[in-house]
Amino acid sequence: MRTSNEAQSRAASAKDPPLLSVRNLSTEFELRRWVFGRAGLVRAVDGVSFELRRGEAVAVVGESGCGKSSLAKTILGLYRPASGEVVFEGKNVASFGRREMRWYRAQVGYVQQDPYGALPPFMTVRRILEEPLIVNRAGNKRERERRIHEVLEEVRLTPVADILPKFPHMLSGGQQQRVVIARAMILRPKLLVADEPVSMLDASVRVQILELMRGLQQAHRLGLVYITHDLSSVRHFCERIFVMYAGKLIEKAKVDELIDGPLHPYTRALLAAIPDPDPANASILKPVPPGEPPSLLAPPPACRFHPRCPEFMKDLCDVKAPADFAPEPDHSVLCWLYDEGLRRAP
């Protein structure tokens, strides 16, 4: 196995064409009344754009209801985009027919949040891992068996022979999540989409699972989209962070830049609210922006954060949606504070 340094030097070189391009992507859901009529339109993902290269891990961080899982599922092809496109290796996913979709599903591994819910309870681990190989007609019985062994060793579920005949309920939460990861890896994908992969696990197991995923991602030069609400775990496992608020990616930057120098007022508030274990926390009240994250059914006009924002500028933030400004290279932010023209004005 390659060491992480070698893997990193091979990772994400700018010359590579992007593995995944998400272009101005929006995903909508129609809320229906009982029989007839529409109750409204929920725009869960709203004009999201980013590129991901092979060997690169990005985290999409946001609070519940911000649309991060909808973004993951749209990338996976489970939801149809309302507009915009998901482009994988230069091909638009929306244009895929049945066969291409099967190919795409083999290229993209999905690690779900709740491992117990994601594993069929009546199948053994062997059967769970063999299924994708059969569906994709990958090899004969012997080759399939060899691949299953290989993958289980990679996710460190050993001795393999003991694990194979087990049903999901016979495994611990951490082991179940390893099976989910093994299933995501079994067809040798190029991209992993992990939606809150450790939020159901205990603290002492979380790090193990995150390190395992990071190891696999680097060893196989995978692209990784890591969806999470837990910013403190991100620094160790990703290159870039995208902060999502009310369907939009409001800030995109390299991990250290974002954590050490957040630009968007929402990102700043979020970072300030996250505690590190420190007894000094008990004696201070934290500044928290007022209000709640907006409903995606009727989000505030223009900047979605303006009703809660401490930097709110009247007749601008509530009238005109901010553009994507890039005050530093590779650091973009959806906020009028970073409009050069505006700052030069008196």
Q: Which residue has the tokens 């809320």?
A: 31
Q: Which of residues 60-79 bind another protein (CB under 8 A)?
A: 63-64
Question: 143: how many CB neighbours lie within 10 A of its CB?
Answer: 11
Answer for which of 35, 161, 203, 345 binds another protein (CB under 8 A) is 203
* Order of all β-strands in the sheet with 38-52: 38-52, 20-32, 83-88, 91-92
Regarding 304 and contact with another protein (CB under 8 A), the answer is no
Regarding 229 and contact with another protein (CB under 8 A), the answer is yes
Give me the least distance between CB of 29 and another protein, in Å please.
19
Regarding 268 and contact with another protein (CB under 8 A), the answer is no
Give me the least distance between CB of 207 and another protein, in Å please.
4
Give me the least distance between CB of 282 and another protein, in Å please.
6
Contact between 252 and 242 (Cβ < 8 Å): yes
Number of residues that bind another protein (CB under 8 A): 38
User: What is the spatial distance between Cα 52 and Cα 58, in angstroms, rounded to a whole number?
Assistant: 8
Q: Which of residues 152-191 bind another protein (CB under 8 A)?
A: 172, 174
Regarding 211 and contact with another protein (CB under 8 A), the answer is yes
Q: Considering beta carbons, is residue 94 or 274 the nearer one to another protein?
A: 274
Q: Site residues (CB under 8 A) for another protein?
A: 63-64, 172, 174, 202-208, 211, 229-233, 235-236, 259, 269-271, 273-279, 281-282, 285-286, 288-289, 292-293
